[in-house]
Amino acid sequence: MPTMPLETESVGASGIASPRRKADLGAFAADLEDQIARSIESAADLTAVERFSRWHEHGTVPAHEPFYRDLMPASAPAPGFQYAFEVDLDKCSSCKACVAACHSQNGLDPAESWRTVGTLVGKESRATVTSSCHHCVEPGCASGCPTLAYEKDDLTGIVKHLDDQCMGCQYCTWTCPYDAPKWNESLGIVRKCDMCHGRLAAGEAPACVQSCPSRAIRIVVVDKDALKADPNAGTRLPGIVPPERTLPTTAYLNLEDPASSPADRDVLRPEHAHAPLAVLLVLTQWAAGIWILEILRRAVGWQPWEWARPCAGALLLAGLGIGTLHLGRPLKAWKAFLGWRRSWFSREVLAMGTAVPFVAVASVPVAIAPIPESVATVANGLAAAFLLAGVGCSAMLYMATPRPAWARAATAWRFGLTTLGGGAVVLGASGMQGLRWMGVASIVAGVAKAILVLSDRRPRSEPTGALVLQARLLRGPLASQARAQAVLFVFAVAAAALGSWTGVAAWLVVALVFRMASDLVERTLFFRSCPSTRMPGGV
């Protein structure tokens, strides 16, 4: 049998390495140790993308299931605990694989996204932030929803949206401080992340977790009582609404610079106009003003205007009818009262809706046929009470949101002055007794409201913030609309002043037209100039 020749330079007859071979191996080992040491020293400086690239270059990526198993809790949450996202900011590379996976898993529309990736910028740092619904302990979306279209699962803590229950009012997009619910125009409803609860139930991680190449997202179990005791244990990023409001459960780790700020902090972004809501608010408030002021006119013995109540009723019905056009699913509007225990939207609907039959009954004696005076008096008083309650609920509906431009007393004052000014100019234009006083009242209410409106546009001393952005919007992208509103208001005041001075009702009719136009533009700007609250975004 032929034999292989021995390489005497490297291996001797006994199979033992020669001295030369031993020297080569020693040099190789020393070089390898040196490379490993340098690799360990530089590992802290590697980006998430570089780490991922090295895993693949060296073939160290584990098999599918073991790789994702350690991104999941070992067991389901016990009572008092719930699932939550945990994000390591040091690992997020802004690749948006999580966004694509969420989009694919849930079959979202092209422009729809339940997960976003934003940026925090510091003096010498930059961090990318992936975010989705925080499945809050006390979710703002659920507390504001008028149709009870949200439920928080008792076992997992996941906040789910019930698509079939939603009427598309979009109010939850205002009450959520973190912009988690997303409006889907093609479906006419709002939808949001549900943490892929079906996958969790089957022992699989959510799509965003499994797709992240750098393992920046995990699912953990958190103690709800601990979050209540220390809200900052959860979402605690700069530039967002403080966590005390809803107790979000997402935890962000390794924030390098607590003084950093969202990259889109100063981006001017006009909001949606919500024209049907603007019309609803103006018409219902004018209706309330006419009703209340007509009661006061009669109380002081002035000649009543027989068409005051039918006029108020027509404005009320028109406002409520036009308001339904804002809904994505108007046929489900009847569900709006279901959340009356916690939603100001439901309370507004109940108050205004309850006022309608009393307005109709009180208007019957002058519009159709006489009814007992006692019945008309009771109906008149109840109509006034519910109309005022409706205006108050309208104000609270916006003041209860986390948007600083709405969540202040100025909102209630603006709504109240619209009620007074609108009612006064209509009654003055009727030409009945007290015309001059009604004209003066409309001017006073209008000027007071104008002061509030102008205060939104003045430059502010603080460098950043929602009110600063609002002022910049009104002086920038929305400046032409703001000027148009001011011009219409000046014409309205001038006409009302002429009517009050001369006692000619025609001038107050002119004032009525300009005042209505001014109020509609002002209420549209109320929506467009109010910056939304959200997680950090990009630029």
pLDDT score recorded for residue 5: 43
- Do residues 289 and 423 lie in contact, with contact meaning Cβ atoms separated by under 8 Å? yes
- Residue 300, pLDDT > 60, answer yes
Label residue 46 by pLDDT band (50, 70, 90).
low
Q: Residues 175, 285: one domain?
A: no
pLDDT of residue 459: 82
Residue 118, domain member (yes or no): yes
Last residue of a domain, one of 235, 262, 289: 262
Report the pLDDT value the prediction gives residue 324, as an integer from 0 to 100.
95
Domain of 356, in residue numbers: 275-528
Per the domain annotation, does 421 fall within a domain? yes
Tell whether 356 and 500 lie within a shared domain.
yes
Element (H, E) at 85: strand 81-88
Of the chain, the end-to-end C-alpha distance in Å amounts to 77
433 and 461 in a single domain? The answer is yes
Q: Are residues 215 and 319 in the same domain?
A: no
Residue 57 in domain: no
| DSSP state letters, 230-278 | -GGGS---TTS--GGGT----EEE--S-TT-EETTTT--------HHHH
- Whether the pLDDT of residue 114 is over 80: the answer is yes
Provide the number of structural domains found in the chain.
2
Cα within 13 Å of Cα(537), Cβ side: 13
Residue bearing the bigger pLDDT, 366 or 518: 518
Same domain, 351 and 234: no
Local confidence band at 19 (pLDDT 50, 70, 90 cut-offs): low
Last residue within a domain, chosen from 236, 262, 288:
262
Q: How confident is the model at residue 75 (pLDDT cuts 50, 70, 90)?
A: confident
Residue 28 lies in a domain: no
Residue-wise pLDDT for 398-441, tens only, equals 999 999 999 999 999 999 999 999 999 999 999 999 999 999 99
Return the structure tokens found at 393.
Answer: 């609920």
Q: What would you report as the CA-atom Rg of the chain, rounded to the nearest whole angstrom?
A: 32
Q: pLDDT tens digit string along 434-469? A: 999 999 999 999 999 999 999 998 887 777 789 999
Question: Could you give the CA distance from residue 281 to residue 287 in angstroms, rounded to a whole number?
Answer: 10
| 3-class SS letters over 183-201 | EECCCCEEECCCCCHHHHH
pTM score of the predicted model:
0.85
Q: What is the pLDDT of residue 41?
A: 56
Q: What is the CATH number of the domain that holds 200?
A: 3.30.70.20
Given a contact cutoff of 8 angstroms between Cβ atoms, the answer to whether 208 and 115 are in contact is yes
Residues of the chain above pLDDT 70, percent: 86
Q: What is the pLDDT of residue 11?
A: 43
- Give residue 450's Cα distance to chain centre: 27
- Note the pLDDT of residue 15: 43
Are the C-beta atoms of 339 and 146 separated by less than 8 Å?
Answer: yes
- Any domain includes 514: yes
- For residue 257, give both structure tokens: 């610079």
- Residue 25 placed within a domain: no
In a domain, 8, yes or no: no
- Residues 200-233, buried b or exposed e (16+ Cβ, 10 A)? beeeebbbbbbbbbbbbbbbbbbebeebeeebeb
pLDDT score of 38: 62
Q: What is the SS3 assignment for 222?
A: strand
Residue 239 shares a structural domain with residue 132: yes
Distances (CA, A) of 324 to 25, 147, 184, 333, 384: 82, 14, 17, 7, 23
Residue for token digits 């079939």? 164
Res 202: pLDDT: 84
Q: 479 and 436 in one domain?
A: yes
pLDDT, residue 61, reads 46
The mean-pLDDT minimum among 16-20, 122-126, 244-248, 325-329 falls in 16-20
Q: Mark whether 292 and 251 lie in a shared domain.
A: no
For residue 111, the tally of other CB atoms under 10 A from its CB is 9
Q: Quick one: how far is CA 116 from the chain centroid?
A: 14
Let me know whether 511 and 398 are in one domain: yes
The lowest-confidence range among 291-300, 347-356, 460-469 is 460-469
Confidence class for position 505, pLDDT limits 50, 70, 90: very high
Cα pseudo-dihedral 139, 140, 144, 147, rounded to 10: -30
Assign residue 406 the CATH number of its domain: 1.20.1630.10
pLDDT of residue 8: 41
- Comparing CA positions, the residue from 429, 446, 537, 424 lying closest to residue 491 is 446
Q: Are residues 355 and 255 in the same domain?
A: no
pLDDT of residue 29: 64
Give the 3-state secondary structure of residue 4: coil
Assess whether 166 and 249 both reside in one domain. yes
Whether residue 329 lies inside any domain: the answer is yes
- For all residues of the chain together, what is the average pLDDT? 88
Which of 218, 233, 262 is where one domain is finished?
262
Neighbouring C-alpha atoms within 13 Å toward the C-beta of 493: 14
Q: Is 145 helix (H, G, I), strand (E, B) or coil?
A: coil
pLDDT at 9 over 60: no
Q: Which range, 60-64, 257-261, 303-307, 493-497, is most confident?
A: 493-497
256 & 286 share domain: no
Q: For position 158, what pLDDT does the model report?
A: 97
- pLDDT confidence of residue 16: 46
Of the pLDDT bands very low, low, confident and very high (cuts 50, 70, 90), residue 10 is: very low
Question: What's the pLDDT at 465?
Answer: 86
